[in-house]
Amino acid sequence: MTTGRRAALRERHHRAIVDAAAALMRETGGTSFSVDELAQRADVSRRTVFNHFESLDEIVITVCGDILGTVVDSFESHATTDADATMFDELAHALRATDLVTPIAYLTRVLGKTTDDELTPRHAALIGRAFTEVSGRMSAELLRRHPDADELDVRLLVGSLMSGALVVHGYWHQATGGADDDRSRQVWADLVERLLAAARTGYGAATGPAAPAARTGTPTGVPAPTSH
């Protein structure tokens, strides 16, 4: 087998495993499927699964990254037409224009919660890893669009915004329970605006309004999430 054919076969197997995991997550409403079930659905051997991924968690992270990757995919479809727009402006425009509530609500639901509506530590870590993966893809896309930009500056910019988005996810989840409805979308939009304002002007002097109240009706806003 030639090198090109081997590479194509490896890519096909990789894609089949990820697609099978995504399908099982949709069908079971969770991540409790076994490696054997995944291998059967992907039509590969158990050994092939572990040739591509170290664990089921690694596969779930990849699926989560693909789902959250909508923000990367939106770059072209929601590209700003402002010739004077900075890289920050481009990222801000993408975060505002992209429907992230649908994918994060789905991931919140499928990854599971404890009885007090907090994500389990394992699943919170999976979402965190997925955000990190998306940050890398976003940095690569910005560097492709701006080949003369300093790589460190790009990664610092993207990393700060995506880390902030992960914090926003925690507050959004506490305020909405991970719902996908109009109120949830408004809460997410308000939190994203606070993130962008803080990132643009600096965090030192930020006071701002209280965070959105949690579903329990706490009048002073949402307490700092403990699961991230």
Tens digit of each residue's pLDDT (9 = 90 or more) over 138-148? 999 889 888 99
The residue that leads in pLDDT, 124 or 13, is: 13
**Is the pLDDT reported for residue 214 higher than 80?**
no
**pTM beyond 0.85, yes or no:** no
The pLDDT value given to residue 82: 65
**Is the pLDDT reported for residue 110 higher than 60?**
yes
Greatest mean pLDDT among 4-18, 70-84, 199-213 lies in 4-18
The pLDDT value given to residue 202: 75
Could you write out the three-class secondary structure of 64-127? Answer: HHHHHCHHHHHHHHCCCCCCCCCHHHHHHHHHHHCCCHHHHHHHHHHHCECCCCCECHHHHHHH
Average pLDDT, whole number, for the chain?
83
Nearest to 225 by CA among 177, 187, 179: 177
132 with 62: CB under 8 angstroms? Answer: no
**Is the pLDDT reported for residue 215 higher than 70?**
no
**Is the pLDDT reported for residue 174 higher than 90?**
no
Kindly state the average pLDDT of the residues 104-121. 72
The string of pLDDT tens digits covering residues 114-138 is 545 567 787 788 888 888 888 998 9
Q: Domains of the chain, with CATH numbers? A: 3-53 (1.10.10.60), 64-201 (1.10.357)
**Is the pLDDT reported for residue 223 higher than 60?**
no
What are 10's two structure tokens?
């490896």
